[in-house]
Structure formats: structure tokens, C-alpha cells
Amino acid sequence: MEEFEDLIVEKLMSTERDGMKDLIAAMKNDGFFTAPCSGSNHLAKEGGLAKHSWNVLIIMQDISFLLTQRTEILSDKAHNAIIICALLHDLGKMGDYGKPNYVPNMIKSRKKDENGEYPLVQSEAKPYETNKDLLYIPHEVRSIAIAERFIKLTEEEEQAILWHNGLYGSFKYDISGKETPLYLLLHFADMWASRIVEEK
């Protein structure tokens, strides 16, 4: 997964956002580049979060390129906003306060070991579970909170990250009629990556 780490770091640094070096250091320290992206759905494996974030960036850039051939709906600053939103939208999934968001889901094996006991093994159906030692906060909210400890997000970036799960997220009743181009780009790219591009 070093490939994605290098690519993500390079892209984030290209935004020249104040505090980005410190945010990247925190991402490395807190497991962003090794964390799974989900417990059992898309990219539920080591490094899945980084790979998913990169996939979302590529899709957002592709959609943005196609749309801007027909209309000027995105501002000149949209290039950096796309990088920030794509690569940080799931930042909260790495965990917080020194605790990972996902931990291995250990279950009893169906096969006995040499001592005649059923040892604990990591589940194949659901390899990870949400860490019970980390207080529940929606990952969209946690993503913004972590990012803003180090960098300043714009109002549009905050909204896009907060609402990126659309009708599947906690804020579905707040969205209708308040959509922005950046939010819609992020939401669709996230859905396309997680539902079409990525495997378990």
C-alpha cells in the first residue's frame, strides 16, 4: 500500500494548504494508510481506506473534467477542493484519540486446535468491527474534526465531506435543495467507487 501512500501524500502536498505536512504526519501516525475502509463491505482489508480514497479522487477528477467541457460550474479553486474532499472524506475511519476505528473481528474457529480447543480467528465474512473503545461519532463529522486540527477547510469542503454519504448517511434530511457541485461530485464518486469499482 506504499504506492497509495506516496500518491496521496504528493496530491495533498500539491494543494499547498497551510498545515498539510502536520496533517499527513498525523495520518501516518494514526493508521490512515493501513486502515481498512469498512468492516465487511468494500475494501475491508489492510490499506483499503487509502485505496478507496485514491479511487474517489480519480473518479471525481474524471467526472469534473467531463462536466467542465460543457459548463463552467466549478470555480478555479475546484481542483484543490476535489483533492481535499476525495482524499479526506473518510479520514475519520482511521480512528481518533489514539484508537483505531476498525479492529479485527475475532470469532471462534470451527476447527479445533492441537489442544482440542476452538481458537479465535479473524472472521472471513466480516474481517473488522467498529472499535468499542472509541466513542461513536459519525465518521463524516470525525473526518472534518481531524482535518481541521491541522488545515482550514472551506465552507464547501466541509459541507461536501459532511454530506458525502447522501441519503445513506446521518444527514440525509438536511440535504434536499441545498446540494452544491462539489458535494454532488464527491457523493457520486464515493458511491461509484464503493459500489462499482471496489471489491470486498
Q: Tens of pLDDT along 43-62? A: 999 999 999 999 999 999 99
- Predicted confidence at residue 41, as pLDDT, reads 85
- Predicted confidence at residue 142, as pLDDT, reads 97
* Residue reference for cell 498539510: 20
For strand 128-130 and strand 106-108, is the pairing parallel, antiparallel, or unpaired?
A: unpaired
pLDDT tens digits for range 117-150? 888 889 899 999 999 999 999 999 999 999 999 9
> Per-residue pLDDT averaged across 7-16, rounded?
97
- Predicted confidence at residue 76, as pLDDT, reads 59
- Predicted confidence at residue 9, as pLDDT, reads 98
Sequence spans of domains, the chain:
2-100+133-195
Number of neighbouring beta carbons within 10 Å of residue 87:
24
* Residue reference for cell 459519525: 138
Of 4-8, 24-28, 37-41, 160-164, the one with minimum mean pLDDT is 37-41
- Predicted confidence at residue 111, as pLDDT, reads 86
In single-letter form, the type of residue at position 138 comes to P
- Sign of the Cα pseudo-torsion (19, 23, 24, 26, in order): positive
Q: Identify whether the C-beta of residue 165 lies closer than 8 Å to the C-beta of residue 186.
A: no
Which string of DSSP letters, residue by residue, matches 159-194? HHHHHTTGGGSTTHHHHTT---HHHHHHHHHHHHII
Number of neighbouring beta carbons within 10 Å of residue 10:
9
Give me 77's grid cell. 479553486
Q: State the Cα–Cα distance between residues 159 and 150, nearest whole angstrom.
A: 18
Mean pLDDT of the chain: 91
Q: If residue 83 lies in a helix (H) or strand (E), which one and from where to where?
A: helix 78-88
pLDDT tens digits for range 60-112? 999 988 877 655 566 656 889 999 999 999 999 999 999 999 999 989 888 87
- For residue 1, pLDDT over 60 is answered with no
Fold of domain 2-100+133-195: Hypothetical protein af1432 (1.10.3210)
Give me 7's grid cell. 500518491
Give which of 87, 42, 38, 29 is closest to 60, Cα–Cα.
87
* Residue reference for cell 466549478: 74
Q: State the Cα–Cα distance between residues 98 and 158, nearest whole angstrom.
A: 23
Give which of 191, 197, 182 is closest to 82, Cα–Cα.
182
- Predicted confidence at residue 74, as pLDDT, reads 64
